[in-house]
Structures are given as C-alpha cells and as structure tokens.
Amino acid sequence: MAADLETIFKQWFGEHQGLLYRVARAYGNTAEDQDDLFQEICLQLWLSIPRFEGKAKVSTWIYRVALNTALVWNRSEKNRRKHRDRFITVAPQQRAGDSQPSQEIIERLYEAVRKLPKVDTSVVLMHLDGLGYDEMAEILGISESNVGVKLNRAKKQLAQLLGGLIDDV
C-alpha cells in the first residue's frame, strides 16, 4: 500500500506540480512562505490520497486539496519543518519568445492576486487556470451562479490592483 501510495503521489505530482506551485506562489508572500506552503500542500496531498474516491477529476480534486491547505494554512505553524534550503527552483524560461516584460507582468499579476481576499484569490487562480464554473463550484462548495458573482467581483478588484493593465473589466 505504501509503495502504491508513493507511485500515485509521484505520478500525480509529476502531472500537477505546476498547479501546486501556482497555489503556493499565490498564497505565500515570501519565497520562504511559498516553499513552506508548497511542502504543506504536498504533505496534505500525500495524507489525502487514500481518501480519493474517483468521483471527481484528479486535477479538480488536487486543486481542492491545495486550496484548502492554502486557505487554512497558518504561517505560525511551520516549526516542524527543518528543511531550510529552497525546495523548489524554477528553471529559466525555455521558450525563446518569453521576454523580460512578460515576466514582469506575471510578477505583477501574482502580487495583485496575493492582495485579494483569500477566497477571491482561489476564484481568480482557478479562472486563470481555465477551470469552468462547474468545476469551481465543486471545489468551493457553492453554486455556479455564486461563482459567477464572485468571479466578476474578484476580476474588478484585480483590475483595480493591476492599475490599468486590464481594460475590459
């Protein structure tokens, strides 16, 4: 069972590590916080795998675990971690087309997302990642119409925080 768990974890982690990293980056203010939250999400994912019943898509389910962890994550409760080196590194952009200005926009976007209320952060993150209203409603535990209301409101706040970068909200 332990070996199975490890295999599943490795497979899911390999397929969805970007999602986990984006959640950690959106909720952690500093690199250390992001690293710590990333580890916490991985731990909760590991502990939750035995409860996966296959009713939801794996990506939806992992999103739920990651966002739940981020929302109830308490910065003061990280004393059990001893690993102090950076845990994650992001390799330099692989594509020739990726320019410095685009990275600046991404960083501005993350900064703005971090300033939103925590719940709105999750709504915006899921929307940016391309999740549909039905998936978002399933993850959040609210109705699709409520998701729509929240998303519109969060997008307006985000546009304000981005100071004119977006002009259609």
Task: Name the minimum Å distance from CB 144 to other proteins.
Answer: 13
Alpha-carbon distance of 14 to 8, in angstroms, equals 10
Beta carbon of residue 4, minimum distance to other proteins (angstroms, whole number): 13
Q: Packing angle between helix 2-27 and helix 118-128, nearest 10 degrees? A: 110
Q: Does position 13 bind other proteins by CB under 8 A?
A: yes
Choosing from 9, 32, 33, 144, the residue that interacts with other proteins (CB under 8 A) is 9
Residue type, 36: D
Q: What CA–CA distance (Å, rounded) separates 151 from 58?
A: 23
Q: What would the x/- binding string for other proteins be over residues 84 to 123, using CB under 8 A?
A: ---xxxxx-xxx--x---xx-xx--x-----xxxxxx-x-
Pick from 15, 29, 31, 71 the residue near other proteins by CB under 8 A: 71
Backbone region of residue 115 per phi and psi (left: phi > 0; alpha: psi in -120 to 50; beta: other values): alpha
The residue within the footprint of other proteins, chosen from 74, 84, 100, 163 (CB under 8 A), is: 74
Which residues, numbered 126-165, are part of the site for other proteins (CB under 8 A)? 127-130, 138-142, 146, 149-150, 153, 155, 157, 159, 165
Residue 51 Cβ, how far from other proteins at the closest point, in Å? 5
Q: How far is the CB of 133 from other proteins (least distance, A)?
A: 14
SS3 129: coil
Please list, in sequence order, all residues whose beta carbon lies within 8 angstroms of the beta carbon of residue 88, skipping any fewer than 6 positions away. 21, 24, 34, 35, 38
